[in-house]
Amino acid sequence: MVNLTIDGKKISVHEKSTILDACKKLNINIPTLCHHPELKVDGNCNICCVKVEGKDDFVQSCSTLVEENMIVKTNTDEINNKRKSILKDILSNHPNDCLTCEKASGDCELQNLCYIMDVNRDEVPFDGKIRMDLIDDSGDSIVRDMNKCILCGRCISVCRDIQGIGIYEFNNERDLVNTVDNKPLKETECINCGQCIKVCPVGALYEKTQIQEALKALLDNDKHVVVQMAPAVKNTLGEEFGLKPGTDVTGKVVASLRKLGANKVFNTDFSADVTIMEEGTEFINRLKEGKNLPLLTSCSPGWIKFVEHNYPQLLNNVSSCKSPQQMFGALSKSYYAKKSGIDPKDIVSISIMPCTAKKFEANRPEMQINGIKDVDIVLTTRELAKMIKLKNIPFLDIEDEDFDKFLGKGTGAARIFATSGGVMEAALRTVSYVLTNGEMNDIDYKVVRGLEGIKEAEVEINGTNVKVAVVNGALNAKKLLDKVVKGEANYHFIEVMGCPGGCLAGGGAPIPDNIEIKELRKEGLYNSDKNNEIRRSFENPEVKELYDKYLGEPGGHLAHKLLHTHYLD
Ligand code: HC0
Ligand code: SF4
């Protein structure tokens, strides 16, 4: 332990602590911009500067380690003036459109600091011009507006160090964040995960919004709008209205979607259960034949793009199942259209997802049948919250409503898809039952739970030790797949999610999230699973009806036509 004094208060902290860490322990608030607790500190902004006795220059509190007997001052006029001049410098290069910015809802860290530090726009007018060449909306998921960038470097760090992809870099002058080789985002290896959006302290990165498109469809009487809601949305959207992370707000979201004009409000959990039927069958077949193992899950579109770019030799291992989002879309325009006598061309299929990559997925050429897209519009959790606010829907007071019947029921197994390990646990609940003819009745596979990046487990089913692995985050996927490719790991089944923690921390989820928030979301999802009277996918009565009356057998001809695909890139 190291002893030091900060603003006259003595404290003892671990020797690896920074001055900023020590200040936090003393509840001393230091302004930060580039610093982020989960990212490598680059010390790009200097706004966290403090003074250390014996040193003439200011010291960065976020990157300077504590030393024995250090005496630190954090709150003198000299320090505050220095911080203010740094902030003014940033603001003088920052456009003036706070009222309409994507981060206008109080999430902008720059705006918050200006308020707290009493820096006013009239002191630092923006004299620059908006450069259209600095706005990149070439992709399906992410928009970059480098006019607003404050050069903190967080996007560079999260993409390189957490996701292992490395799309962004500073230019030589360090006055602009570029993509590698200066390509439009669409032409890079960006997997659309949106993790860079979540760490951006300002509105320089945001999802490509489809709010207006959705509102137009919802108001169009000639269209029949069906909406699906992903598992993670149910336990996270409440955060946008001040509720505790993990709170299950399913009924309120359903009611809000009806108020927005949805003709039917359906459930991605339903198609997640269908996914288990299809992927479970695929797994059992591969296990029996010993072919194309390990089976790699296919529901995370960021991960799919990652494997296409980096491990094309493993594409035969990837499950041929479409994701639950796409399965739902395909069923809404076939099974549901037929049952309700609606022309699929008149159906607009909207999904609410915690994920930016789902926008990209819905636009993939593989994701349409006879020229009709499975899913037409994808809104993130944040976009739906914004629409609810826009239409003055009293979200917190609205009476809970239930999903529409037919594609509305989901099991506990489906709900946990949204947390790392959930797809694997859901699959094991069904696969073990089927392979043992009902003798194995386990529901809880706690070995695959938790937010760690890589998890491994062995489960004995019918005398076979089924070896499974669960990874989340692209960098962790890379670590595991390198072993698989080298023949150093022989798993039967691997769940991969592109975002760290899984969908509960997707690029379209409420901001901020951190490890505490992720834990609460995870707990909320497992509670919703526990509270569901049906916890195994094959027991979902609406799924049974789908197979009995329409699809036939899981893995059958019609199921293949509608619910499976091949990734060709
Ligand atoms: Fe997910 Fe999904 S679990 S990817 O994270 O599989 O986005 O929540 O909707 O499709 O169900 C996201 C979440 C989904 C899909 C499901 C899967
Ligand atoms: Fe990197 Fe993901 Fe951002 Fe793309 S969306 S630039 S992969 S962090």
Instruction: Say what the pLDDT of residue 568 is.
Output: 62
Is any ligand 1 atom within 6 A of the Cβ of residue 141? no
- The conformational region for residue 278 under phi > 0 = left, psi -120 to 50 = alpha, else beta, is alpha
Class at the top of the CATH hierarchy for domain 212-563: alpha beta
Is any ligand 1 atom within 6 A of the Cβ of residue 194? no
Domain 2-91: CATH architecture, name and number where available: Roll (3.10)
CA distance 206 to 511: 11
Instruction: Say what the pLDDT of residue 455 is.
Output: 98
CA distance 292 to 349: 33
Helix (H) or strand (E) holding 71: strand 70-73
Please check the confidence at residue 189 and state whether its pLDDT lies above 90.
yes
Q: Which ligand is nearest to the CA of 204?
A: 2
Average pLDDT rounded to a whole number, residues 304-318? 97
Instruction: Look over the chain and give the mean of its residue pLDDT values, rounded to a whole number.
Output: 96
2-91 and 212-563: identical CATH topology: no
pLDDT in tens, 336-390: 999 999 999 999 999 999 999 999 999 999 999 999 999 999 999 999 999 999 9
**Does ipTM exceed 0.85?**
yes
Q: Give exposure, 3-29, as e/b (b: 16+ Cβ within 10 Å).
A: ebebeeeebebeeebbbbbbbbeeebe
Torsion of CA 414, 416, 420, 423, to 10 degrees: -30
Average pLDDT rounded to a whole number, residues 157-167? 98
Mutation test of ligand 1: which of 299, 381, 384 has the most ligand atoms closer than 8 Å to its C-beta? 299
Alpha carbon nearest to ligand 2 atom 3, residue:
196
Is any ligand 2 atom within 6 A of the Cβ of residue 190? yes
Binning pLDDT at 50, 70 and 90, where does residue 121 land?
confident
Instruction: Say what the pLDDT of residue 105 is.
Output: 78
Counted residue by residue, the chain has a size of: 569
Average pLDDT rounded to a whole number, residues 285-303? 97
Backbone angles phi, psi at 511, to 5 degrees: -110, 135
CA distance 3 to 10: 7
Q: What is the 8-class DSSP label of residue 44?
A: -
Alpha carbon nearest to ligand 2 atom 1, residue:
159
Average pLDDT rounded to a whole number, residues 158-179? 97
Please check the confidence at residue 569 and state whether its pLDDT lies above 60.
no
Residue 413: partners with Cβ closer than 8 Å, 6 or more residues away: 272, 273, 276, 422, 425, 426, 429, 430, 529, 535, 536, 537
Is any ligand 2 atom within 6 A of the Cβ of residue 159? yes
Residues acting as catalytic residues: 279, 282, 299, 319, 358, 361, 366, 503
Q: Where are the domains of the chain?
A: 2-91, 98-207, 212-563
Residue 289: partners with Cβ closer than 8 Å, 6 or more residues away: none
pTM (global) more than 0.80: yes
Q: In the numeric block, which tokens belong to residue 313?
A: 């030799």
Fold of 98-207: Alpha-Beta Plaits (3.30.70)
Instruction: Say what the pLDDT of residue 368 is.
Output: 96
Residue 22: partners with Cβ closer than 8 Å, 6 or more residues away: 4, 6, 11, 13, 66, 72
Contact 315, 307 (CB under 8 A): yes
CA distance 236 to 504: 8
Average pLDDT rounded to a whole number, residues 124-129? 84
Please check the confidence at residue 42 and state whether its pLDDT lies above 80.
no
Binning pLDDT at 50, 70 and 90, where does residue 536 land?
very high
Q: What is the 8-class DSSP label of residue 400?
A: P
Instruction: Say what the pLDDT of residue 291 is.
Output: 93
Contact 216, 377 (CB under 8 A): no
Contact 309, 189 (CB under 8 A): yes
pLDDT in tens, 477-503: 999 999 999 999 999 999 999 999 999
Helix (H) or strand (E) holding 177: strand 177-179
CA distance 155 to 198: 9
pLDDT in tens, 67-92: 999 999 999 999 999 999 999 999 99
Instruction: Say what the pLDDT of residue 279 is.
Output: 98
Q: In the numeric block, which tokens belong to residue 225?
A: 């709008």
Q: What is the 8-class DSSP label of residue 272?
A: H
Instruction: Say what the pLDDT of residue 331 is.
Output: 98
Is any ligand 1 atom within 6 A of the Cβ of residue 230? yes
Please check the confidence at residue 52 and state whether its pLDDT lies above 90.
yes
Distances (CA, A) of 424 to 397, 517, 545: 36, 23, 24
CB atoms within 10 A of CB 390: 11
Q: In the numeric block, which tokens belong to residue 504?
A: 């509960």
Is any ligand 1 atom within 6 A of the Cβ of residue 406? no
Hey, is 4 helix, strand or coil? strand
Q: Which ligand is nearest to the CA of 165?
A: 2
Helices (H), 242-369: 250-260, 268-289, 301-310, 324-332, 335-340, 357-362
CA distance 231 to 474: 21
Q: Which residue has the higher pLDDT, 97 or 219?
A: 219
Hey, is 119 helix, strand or coil? coil
Q: Which ligand is nearest to the CA of 237?
A: 1
pLDDT in tens, 220-269: 999 999 999 999 999 999 999 999 999 999 999 999 999 999 999 999 99
Alpha carbon nearest to ligand 2 atom 2, residue:
193
Pairing of strands 347-353, 224-229: parallel
